[in-house]
Amino acid sequence: MSPRRIAIDSENGRYEVVYGAAILSGAGIRTKSLGENSGVFLLCSPRVARHWRAKLERSLRSAGLRRTLIFDDREEAKNIATVERVCRELVRAGADRRALIVAAGGGVVGDVAGFVAASYLRGVGLVHIPTTLVAQVDSAIGGKTGVNLPEGKNLVGAFYSPRLVLADPVTLSTLPDREFRSGLYEIIKYGVIADERLFAFLENSIGPLAKRDVKALDFVIPRCIQAKARVVSRDERESGLREILNFGHTFAHAFETATAYRKYLHGEAVGWGMIAASRLAGRMRLLAAENVDRIERLVRRVGPLPSLPSAKPSRLVEIMHADKKVRGGKLRLVLTRKIGTAETFGPIAPKLVTEVLDHLDRET
């Protein structure tokens, strides 16, 4: 099957997400086709380097590869200190304004490398090669970059579009099962917020998909990419519509922050967040009880989730007030009225959110 190409419009021009098996070997040719650069700098994590560095370096040599920089991709290392270290390494490697950064890895690598590309010398070229399921369906697409503060997740960052995204499902073969499952929660999110057909497919096929069935992956990954492309092409800077991509994330970010980014993979936190958001929508009489149950049942079928944080619900709600959707100190959350659609609601009474969290906590 030939690679699928999905166009995304951004304020810096149109770029493509190219999806297909074995496109990794052509990364150099596709990168070179973007035009002249003064040097390609490959940024990746130790694990990605272990599996894919040699292949990527061979391919990128034709595009002008100068240096490979490796940095820690644990969520707790996604911070300003890591950004500074990478920028200083680029200076020492001689990267100038016409340099091109190629980010190969999961969400943390993409977020850090994207923020570096947006900031270094006030902006250099960027190509994403996502190697995790979460990154291929979500984080590598749309130009959001960011790093964490102790006070909250992704509170420092920039909108900065890549010039190209290359998503090769072959790279998913090296993912541990837990990380692969983490990506399935983000796929469920797309079914809830934008694609009822996708949600129904997942209800029928979550088993084969969890076992990495090739046909199932080839259906869901491009479908998620297309869903995100439709949203971010209309609202790149999250001024309205794009907020729906944060379904479950306000809860999720609070869970991650409360556990110092050490307990959950991002998708796992989103899984809990979607359960909480669905229950909240049910409590507010926005979402029918049967659909609350369908969402929760599908999330739980992916596999066991780590337990909820030990933090009190009131503390989690306090953390949620640092969310970027908060306006005038009032909580706003993305909720669904019907599977396949979502919108932002607010202000939402903190007491209501606390009650949902308290009830969820007592069940686990």
pLDDT at 335 over 90: yes
Picking from 155, 160, 69, the residue whose alpha carbon sits closest to that of residue 115 is 160
CATH T-level fold of 4-174: Rossmann fold (3.40.50)
Which pTM was predicted? 0.93
Structure tokens at 62: 């034709």
Q: pLDDT exceeding 70 applies to what percent of the chain? A: 99
Over range 281-310, report the average pLDDT: 97
Q: What is the pLDDT of residue 316?
A: 96
pLDDT at 317 over 70: yes
- Tell me the three state secondary structure of residue 127: strand
Condensed to tens digits (0 to 9), the pLDDT of residues 21-37 reads 999 999 999 999 999 99
Over range 332-350, report the average pLDDT: 96
DSSP symbols for 156-181? EEEE---SEEEE-GGGGGGS-HHHHH
Angle at 146 between CA 10 and CA 16, to 5 degrees: 30
Q: What is the pLDDT of residue 187?
A: 98
Condensed to tens digits (0 to 9), the pLDDT of residues 224-252 reads 999 999 999 998 888 889 999 999 999 99
Q: What is the pLDDT of residue 364?
A: 66
pLDDT at 326 over 90: no
pLDDT at 115 over 80: yes
Over range 124-134, report the average pLDDT: 97
Residue intervals of the chain classified under CATH 3.40.50.1970 are 4-174
Q: What is the dihedral of CA 320, 323, 328, 331, to 10 degrees?
A: -50
CATH T-level fold of 177-363: Dehydroquinate synthase-like, alpha domain (1.20.1090)
User: How many other C-beta atoms are found inside a 10 Å radius of the C-beta of residue 346?
Assistant: 15
Q: What is the pLDDT of residue 93?
A: 97
Q: pLDDT exceeding 90 applies to what percent of the chain? A: 92
Report the chain's mean pLDDT, rounded to a whole number: 95
pLDDT at 253 over 70: yes
Q: What is the pLDDT of residue 361?
A: 73
Residue intervals of the chain classified under CATH 1.20.1090.10 are 177-363
Q: What is the pLDDT of residue 355?
A: 96
Condensed to tens digits (0 to 9), the pLDDT of residues 59-87 reads 999 999 999 999 999 999 999 999 999 99
